[in-house]
Structure 1
Amino acid sequence: MNKITLLLIFNVLVLLSCKSKETFEPRNISKVEVENLVQDSLLNVRALEVVKGKVLFGTSNGEIYVYKPSENSRNLTTLEWMEIDSIKPPNYRALAYAENRVFGLAIESPALLYMNGKLVYKENHPKAFYDSMDFWNDQEGIAIGDPTDTCMSIIITRDGGETWNKLPCGSLPKAIVGEAAFAASDTNIAIVDNHTWVATGGKASRILYSPDKGKSWEVSDTPIVQGKETTGMYSIDFYDELNGFAIGGDYTKPDNNKANKIKTIDGGKTWELVANNENPGYRSCVQYIPNRAGEELVAIGFKGIDYSNDSGNSWKHLSDEGFYTIRFLNDSIAYAAGSGRLARLIFRE
Structure 2
Amino acid sequence: MRIISMLVFCVFLSCKSTYKVSERKDILLDSLSIRAIYPTINGVWFGGTNSKAGFISFENETETKIVKLQKENTDFRSIAYSIGEIYVLNAGTPANMYELNTFGYSCTSKLIYTEMGEKVFYDSMFINIKTGFGVVVGDPTEDCLSVLLTENSGKNWKKISCDILPKTAEGEAAFAASNTNVKIIDGVIYIISGGMKSRLFKSDDKGITWHVFETPIIQGEAMTGAFSMDFYNKRKGIIVGGNYENQKDNSVNKAITKNGGKTWKIVSKDLTFGYASCVQFMPKSRGKVLYTCGTSGVYYSTNFGQKWTKILDDTDFYTLRFSEKNNIYLAGKNKVTKIKISH
Alpha-carbon deviation of 1:279? 1.4
Secondary structure of 1:329's aligned partner = strand
Q: Amino acid of the residue matched to residue 252 of structure 1?
A: E
Identical counterparts, % of pairs: 35
Aligned equivalent of 2:223, options 206, 215, 230: 230
Report if the CA contact (8 A) 1:36-1:341 is conserved.
no
Alpha-carbon deviation of 1:314? 1.1
Once residues 233 and 73 of structure 1 are traced to their aligned partners in structure 2, the CA distance between those partners, rounded to angstroms, is 38
Other-structure match for 1:97: 81
Alpha-carbon deviation of 1:53? 4.5
CA 1:324–1:145: 2 relative to 1, 3 Å: same
Other-structure match for 1:6: none
Write out aligned runs for 1:166-315 (5 A).
166-315=159-308
Aligned equivalent of 1:47, options 27, 36, 42: 36
Aligned equivalent of 1:32, options 21, 34, 41: 21
Write out aligned runs for 1:43-192 (5 A).
43-51=32-40, 53-78=42-67, 80-82=69-71, 88-116=72-100, 117-137=109-129, 139-192=132-185
Write out aligned runs for 1:300-339 (5 A).
300-322=293-315, 323-339=317-333
Alpha-carbon deviation of 1:224? 0.4
Alpha-carbon deviation of 1:29? 2.6
Q: Amino acid of the residue matched to residue 220 of structure 2?
A: G
CA 1:159–1:206: 2 relative to 1, 3 Å: same
Once residues 212 and 98 of structure 1 are traced to their aligned partners in structure 2, the CA distance between those partners, rounded to angstroms, is 21
Once residues 331 and 260 of structure 1 are traced to their aligned partners in structure 2, the CA distance between those partners, rounded to angstroms, is 26
TM-score normalised to the size of structure 2?
0.89
Aligned-residue CA RMSD in angstroms?
Answer: 1.7
Once residues 93 and 240 of structure 1 are traced to their aligned partners in structure 2, the CA distance between those partners, rounded to angstroms, is 25
Secondary structure of 2:54's aligned partner = strand
Greater helix percent: which structure? Answer: 1
Report if the CA contact (8 A) 1:63-1:76 is conserved.
no
Alpha-carbon deviation of 1:341? 0.2
Alpha-carbon deviation of 1:196? 1.6
Secondary structure of 2:111's aligned partner = strand
Give the structure with higher Rg (CA).
1
Alpha-carbon deviation of 1:109? 0.8
Secondary structure of 2:163's aligned partner = helix
Report if the CA contact (8 A) 1:131-1:183 is conserved.
yes
Other-structure match for 1:347: 341
Report if the CA contact (8 A) 2:44-2:57 is conserved.
yes
Count of aligned residue pairs for this structure pair: 319
Structure 1: where are the runs of 5+ without partners?
1-25, 83-87
Secondary structure of 1:42's aligned partner = coil
Report if the CA contact (8 A) 1:29-1:307 is conserved.
no
Alpha-carbon deviation of 1:254? 1.3
CA 1:80–1:338: 2 relative to 1, 3 Å: closer
Deviation readout 1:189-236 (Å, 9 max, x if unpaired): 122121121010001000000112323211101000000111000000
Deviation readout 1:316-344 (Å, 9 max, x if unpaired): 12221120000001222100000010001
CA 1:73–1:206: 2 relative to 1, 3 Å: farther
Q: Amino acid of the residue matched to residue 132 of structure 1?
A: S
Deviation readout 1:59-114 (Å, 9 max, x if unpaired): 111111212334255422426425xxxxx133100111100111011001111111
Structure 2: where are the runs of 5+ without partners?
1-14, 101-108
Once residues 51 and 271 of structure 1 are traced to their aligned partners in structure 2, the CA distance between those partners, rounded to angstroms, is 32
CA 1:298–1:73: 2 relative to 1, 3 Å: farther
Once residues 321 and 304 of structure 1 are traced to their aligned partners in structure 2, the CA distance between those partners, rounded to angstroms, is 5
Report if the CA contact (8 A) 2:23-2:341 is conserved.
no
- Structure 1 range deviating more: 44-53 or 300-309: 44-53
- Structure 1 range deviating more: 304-313 or 52-61: 52-61
Secondary structure of 2:29's aligned partner = strand
Report if the CA contact (8 A) 2:242-2:250 is conserved.
yes
Deviation readout 1:248-297 (Å, 9 max, x if unpaired): 00122111101100000001111111111111211100000111111100
Alpha-carbon deviation of 1:165? 1.1
Q: Amino acid of the residue matched to residue 33 of structure 2?
A: N
